[in-house]
Amino acid sequence: MPGANCALYGCGTSRRSNLSLFKIPFPARGDGDKTAKLKSDARKEWLRVILRTRENTPELKKRINENNIFLCELHFKPELIYQHDDFLICEGLHQHAEYLTTIAKDPDDQTHPLHPSDVVRHSIPKSVEMDTNFRVLAVFRCVTCQVLVRRQDQGDVICEPCKQLQRKIVAQQNRSTRQSSAPAKDKAPLTRCSADKLRATVVESRVKCSLLEAKVKSLQVQIEKDSITVSETLEKDVLTIMGGHNLESTPHMKFFWEQQVRLRQANQFGRRFHPQVIRFALSVHCKSASAYRELRDSGALILPSERVLRDYRNYFKPGAGITKENVEELKEKASKFSGIHKYVAVIMDEMKIQENLVFDKTSGELIGFIDLSDPLTTFANTDEETPIASHALTLLVRGLCTNLKHVVAYYFTGNVTSFQLLPLFWKVVGVLETTVKLWVIAAVNDGASPNRKFFALHAKLGGTLPCGLVYETPNLFVLTRMIYFFADVPHLIKTTRNCLYNSGYGSHSR
């Protein structure tokens, strides 16, 4: 409708276009003669231009009589539009004009409703004379352009929506430029790559080839310098070992060899050790820490550092006595046992340790005093108030029908007595019988005097030989089962050897 839109033929400006609509001048009652004449002349000229391109229908005549005819701001020269002192007309987008031409759309274009463009082409006629060429000023704006911008002392005359869209377009063009000049990926089709991308791809390939050739030359020089000539027999043996033909019969050796090859090729600071390699390293380190260091420092094998092994070795915080975490671990091991596999023996032995005190920074305690986990047991038959431990007493559980070996508890001791051994032994038996569900039927220790007296303390409970030797006692937690006492055979052999050596038999002195 002409009353709701611009009246000029072909102009699609409406009230929804965010453009100004001006009503055709109309002489008012209060106007002077000069003003009324100017308005009348302008009205006649505008109606002449409109009627040259439109059919004078009854509806159009009615709107002309009612003065309901509008013209949009596109058909006025900028200098004819009233300029407010505080506002200016937005200049629109002015960067990457060639790209804007490809993505801009006309205000009434609805060809792509699903993917609308953010840029609109705003055409401003430079002249309204129909006799001359129709010239326009094309300005690219944001769809949500505010048109009027508050006057500022510095900077471009551009509204905030156009400014944000311009930054977005500049970033997009810069990204597109970088992508077009970046090398193509390995599987990218070359037929769809631009000339710049193909040129960058060729340059990158040449650089890679030159680096690889330099590396090959460096390796050849190093091989010629450090290589060692080997015999033909040794060469065949090495190739056979590396081929793995002799390793098929020993899966553990083959697996260990494969792990060493993989670790040798990996970065020194990014190595990940297999759990089986960790177990092997822990086994070697527990047998001899110095031998493990020598083996690792020699470079013959790639093994974890002692710092890594400490994390695995200290899976839970150790402590003197029976710890909950240690019992839970033993319980998990014994959960698969049934029947005769539950029969175990408790082995007790002492080892000499250095008399010293160590400060535990985690708990703030001094470690090194005699500690039997019970003050009454600890200070029994002890004259000193704070005696320092000189030995470590270990109680180990050993499976009779399985390969189970587990240290149940250890204590820091001095000159341990049989009265101190008695409660420690039965505490361990109680944990094994009631918590871990293992069946204790034997107790083994060496022939030291406190250990023999410990056996003798069970004289009134168990069986006694005619010579007075105590060899068994009822299990206090399962009275139907007996616990038998055994002397450690290696210690008996060592004692026999020492007695024979010290008897003077070789010198015939006795």
Residue predicted with more confidence, 375 or 186: 186
pLDDT at 86 > cutoff 80? no
Residues 309, 392 within the same domain: no
For residue 216, what pLDDT is reported? 94
Residue 230 lies in a domain: no
**Tokens 């759990």 found at:** 275
pLDDT tens-place string over residues 408-459: 888 888 878 888 888 889 999 999 999 988 999 999 988 788 888 888 888 8
Residue 159 lies in a domain: yes
Residues 471, 367 within the same domain: yes
Residues 142, 288 within the same domain: no
Residues 328, 407 within the same domain: yes
Residue 277 lies in a domain: yes
Last residue of a domain, one of 29, 47, 80: 80
User: What's the predicted TM-score (pTM) here?
Assistant: 0.44
The arithmetic mean of pLDDT across residues 47-67, rounded, is: 83
pLDDT tens-place string over residues 309-367: 887 776 666 777 888 888 888 888 888 888 899 999 999 888 888 777 777 777 777 77
Q: If residue 411 lies in a helix (H) or strand (E), which one and from where to where?
A: strand 405-413
Neighbours of 82 (CB within 10 A): 5
Domains in the chain: how many in total? 4
Q: What pLDDT band is residue 397 in, cutting at 50, 70 and 90?
A: very high
pLDDT at 114 > cutoff 50? no
Residues 309, 325 within the same domain: no
Residues 63, 169 within the same domain: no
Q: What pLDDT band is residue 53 in, cutting at 50, 70 and 90?
A: confident
For residue 212, what pLDDT is reported? 93
For residue 343, what pLDDT is reported? 92
For residue 1, what pLDDT is reported? 43
Q: Which two tokens mark 433? A: 């019988």
Residues 347, 482 within the same domain: yes
Q: If residue 263 lies in a helix (H) or strand (E), which one and from where to where?
A: helix 251-265
How many residues are there in the chain?
510
Last residue of a domain, one of 273, 299, 314: 314
- Specify which of 208-212, 221-225, 297-301, 500-504 reaches the highest per-range mean pLDDT: 208-212
Mean pLDDT computed over every residue of the chain: 79
Contacts 24+ apart (CB under 8 A), 324-330: 326/407, 326/408, 326/409, 327/408, 327/431, 327/435, 327/436, 329/406, 330/397, 330/406, 330/408, 330/436
Residue 447 lies in a domain: yes
Alpha carbon distance 33, 24 (integer Å): 18
Q: Is 152 exposed, middle or buried (0-12, 13-18, 19+ CB in 10 A)?
A: exposed
Q: Is 416 exposed, middle or buried (0-12, 13-18, 19+ CB in 10 A)?
A: buried
Report which of 472, 391, 483, 471 is spatially closest to residue 432, judged by C-alpha positions. Answer: 483
For residue 319, what pLDDT is reported? 72
Torsion sign (Cα): 127, 131, 132, 135 = positive
The arithmetic mean of pLDDT across residues 485-502, rounded, is: 85
Residues 484, 398 within the same domain: yes
Residue range(s) defining the domain that contains residue 384: 321-502
Residue 57 lies in a domain: yes
User: Chain-centre distance of CA 11, in angstroms?
Assistant: 61
Residue 163 lies in a domain: yes
Residue 220 lies in a domain: no
Residues 257, 334 within the same domain: no
Residue 215, amino acid: K
Q: What pLDDT band is residue 215 in, cutting at 50, 70 and 90?
A: very high
Contact 21, 13 (CB under 8 A): yes
Residues 437, 350 within the same domain: yes
Last residue of a domain, one of 280, 314, 348: 314
Please enumerate in sequence order all residues whose Cβ is within 8 A of that of 259, keeping only pairs 6 or more positions apart, or say none.
273, 274, 276, 277
Residue 176 lies in a domain: yes
Report which of 327, 325, 339, 270 is spatially closest to residue 302, judged by C-alpha positions. Answer: 270
The arithmetic mean of pLDDT across residues 131-152, rounded, is: 70
Residues 69, 91 within the same domain: no
Residues 387, 301 within the same domain: no
